[in-house]
Amino acid sequence: MHVIPSWLIVQQALRPRSTSPDGYQTAGYVLTFVTLLVAFVLVVTTMAGRGDGIEAGIRELLDSVARTAAPALDDSQRMLLVEEVTPLFLGFSAVTWIVMLVVNAVLAQRLLSNRGMSRRPTPRWSELRIPDWFDYVLVSGAVAALSLGGDYGFVARNAIIVLLTPYFFVGLAVVHQMARRTSMPAMMLTVFYMMLLVFFVVAAVLVAALDIAEQWVGVRRRMLPGSRSGTN
């Protein structure tokens, strides 16, 4: 869970790329490779241990955890909580893994850069952009989630949550770049992150949708004149 993703991040981040502004592989490519690794692990491990049914197994597991962690809940409240969490539990667990990897990678790069030990320039996070081919991966996953049933459909729906993670990060980059063009960027970002924490699911979907718009129509290029929206 830690060694292989860390190796992949370093291996990809230090790959030379002549078309990149700093001569190295872009942060967007690194993010997509990490996302694909996590999605692959999710699908393979889940399908390998599906037993009598993946969704039923997760529901049983969450019910057991809820009995221990929240003994004050009665049976109806516990079952309602389990039924709400079960459908996307795998996906959001994998997203947490990706967020942990990304945060640690950014902190590691900052630490190395501050000490003059970084082997590559620090990427411009506000110009983060994922490669165009990743859109086809997302669309393929969405088709599978809509057309498949049973365990396969359940896993595909959770994999979609994982595949949307890079769009969420780029959406954050767009928000930061937009905030810098306002008179009070710190206040705007503070309000934004407060809303993100309070209404996480809805806000996260909107942020991911913002990046999809950025990928297809270039929000930063249209709304922020002079920004280098075409670079990573």
φ, ψ of residue 58 to 5 degrees: the values are -65, -40
pLDDT value of position 163: 92
* Position with higher pLDDT, 117 vs 224: 117
Q: pLDDT tens digits for 73-101?
A: 788 888 888 888 888 888 989 999 999 99
Q: How far is 94 from 92, CA to CA, in rounded Å?
A: 5
Contacts of 167 (CB under 8 A, 6+ apart): 130, 138, 208, 209, 211, 212, 215
Q: Helix, strand or coil for residue 94?
A: helix
Q: Which two tokens stand for residue 191?
A: 């309000």
The per-residue pLDDT of the chain, averaged, comes to 82
Whether 228 shows a pLDDT value over 50: the answer reads no
Q: pLDDT tens digits for 100-140?
A: 999 999 999 999 999 999 888 888 877 788 888 998 898 89
Q: Helix, strand or coil for residue 2?
A: coil
DSSP calls for 193-232: HHHHHHTHHHHHHHHHHHHHHHHHH-HHHHHSTT--TT--
Residue 170 confidence class, pLDDT cut points 50, 70, 90? confident
Q: pLDDT tens digits for 19-47?
A: 777 888 888 899 999 999 999 999 988 88
Whether 229 shows a pLDDT value over 60: the answer reads no
